Chain A
Amino acid sequence: MRVELTVNGQKKAADVEPRTLLVHLLREDFGMTGTNVGCDTSSCGACTVLLDGESVKSCTVLAAQADGREVTTIEGLASADGTLHPLQRAFQENHALQCGYCTPGMVMVSMSILAENDTLDEATVREGLEGNLCRCTGYHNIVKAVLAAKEEMGAEL
Chain B
Amino acid sequence: MTATQTPTQDTSLSPEGNPLGFGRMLRKEDARFVRGQGHYVDDVNLPGMLHSAILRSPYAHARIVSIDTSAAEAHPKVKAVITGKMLEDLKLAWMPTLSGDVVAVLATDKVRFQGQEVAYVVAEDEYSARDALELIEVDYEPLPAVVDAKHALDPDAPIIRDDLEGRADNKIYDWEAGDAAACDEVFSNAEVVVSEDMIYPRVHPAPMETCGSVASLDKVTGKLTMWTTTQAPHAHRTIYALVAGLPEQKIQVISPDIGGGFGNKVGIYPGYVLSIVGSIVTGAPVKWMEDRSENLMSTSFARDYHMHGEIAATKEGKILGLRVHVLADHGAFNGVAQPTKFPAGFFHIFTGSYDYPAAHCKVTAVYTNKALGGVAYACSFRITEAVYLVERMVTCLAYELQMDPAELRMKNLLRPEQFPYMSPTGWEYDSGDYPRALKEAMRIAGYEDLRAEQAARRARATEPGADPSTPLMGIGLSFFTEGVGAGPRKHMDILGLGMADGCELRVHPTGKAQLRLSVQTQGQGHETTFAQIVSHVIGLPPEDIEVVHGDTDNTPFGLGTYGSRSTPVSGAAAAVAAQRIKDKARVIAAAALECSVEDLEWEHGRWYVKGDPSQGKTIAEIAMAAHSSLELPEGVEGHLDASVVYNPPNLTYPFGAYICVVDVDPQTGAVKVRRFIAVDDCGPRINPMIVEGQVHGGLADGLGMALMEVIAFDPDGNNLGGSFMDYLLPTSMECPSWELGETVTPSPHHPIGVKGVGESATVGSPPAVVNAVLDALQIRHADMPFTPAMTWRALQGRPMRPDLAIE
Contact = CB atoms under 8 A, between A and B. Distances in A.
Question: Are A and B physically bound partners?
Answer: yes
Interface of A: 17, 19-20, 27-28, 31-41, 43-44, 46, 73-75, 77-78, 84, 88-89, 91-93, 95, 97-104, 107, 122, 125-127, 129-143
A91 B724 contact: no
B700 A138 contact: yes
Contacts of B689: 95
Contact of A136 (B42, B697, B733): B697
Contacts of B692: 95
* Chain B: interface size category: 35 or more
A139 B32 CA distance: 20
Contacts of A133: 208, 724, 729, 731
Nearest to B31: A92
A34 B37 contact: yes
A36 B737 contact: no
A120 B26 CA distance: 25
Query: Max chain B CB contacts within 10 Å: which of A44, A134, A142?
Result: A134
Given A75-B35, A100-B38, A127-B733, A43 B724 contact: yes
Given A17-B127, A37-B42, A136 B26 contact: no
Contacts of B525: 98
Contact of B208 (A38, A40, A73): A38
B532 to A, nearest CB: 14
A90 B34 CA distance: 10
Nearest to B704: A135
B36 A31 contact: no
A122 B693 contact: no
B292 A34 contact: no
Interface in B179-211: 206-210
B251 to A, nearest CB: 25
Interface stretch (B255-263, B336-344, B363-371, B494-502): B255-263
Nearest to A91: B34
B522 A99 contact: yes
Nearest to B259: A101
A33 B34 CA distance: 12
Nearest to B296: A39
B612 to A, nearest CB: 42
B698 interface: yes
B173 interface: no
B725 to A, nearest CB: 5
Contacts of A89: 34
Contacts of B257: 99-100
B35 A122 contact: no
A32 B43 CA distance: 9
Contacts of B733: 126-127, 130
Contact of A39 (B30, B38, B292, B697): B292
A33 B42 contact: yes
Interface of B: 26-27, 29-40, 42-43, 45, 125, 127, 206-210, 257-262, 291-293, 522-525, 689-690, 692-701, 723-725, 729, 731-733, 735, 737-738
A139 B732 contact: yes
Given A36-B208, A78-B35, A136 B523 contact: yes
B35 A137 contact: no
Contacts of B43: 27, 33
A99 B523 contact: yes
27 contacts: A31-B45, A33-B36, A33-B42, A38-B210, A39-B291, A41-B292, A44-B292, A84-B34, A93-B26, A97-B523, A98-B524, A98-B693, A98-B694, A99-B261, A99-B523, A100-B29, A101-B40, A101-B208, A101-B523, A107-B34, A126-B732, A127-B733, A129-B732, A138-B695, A138-B698, A138-B700, A139-B700
A123 to B, nearest CB: 9
Contacts of A129: 731-732
A36 B33 CA distance: 12
Contacts of A141: 693, 696
A99 B31 CA distance: 12
Contact of B699 (A19, A33, A34, A138): A138
A40 B259 contact: no
A21 B97 CA distance: 37
A73 B732 contact: no
B760 to A, nearest CB: 13
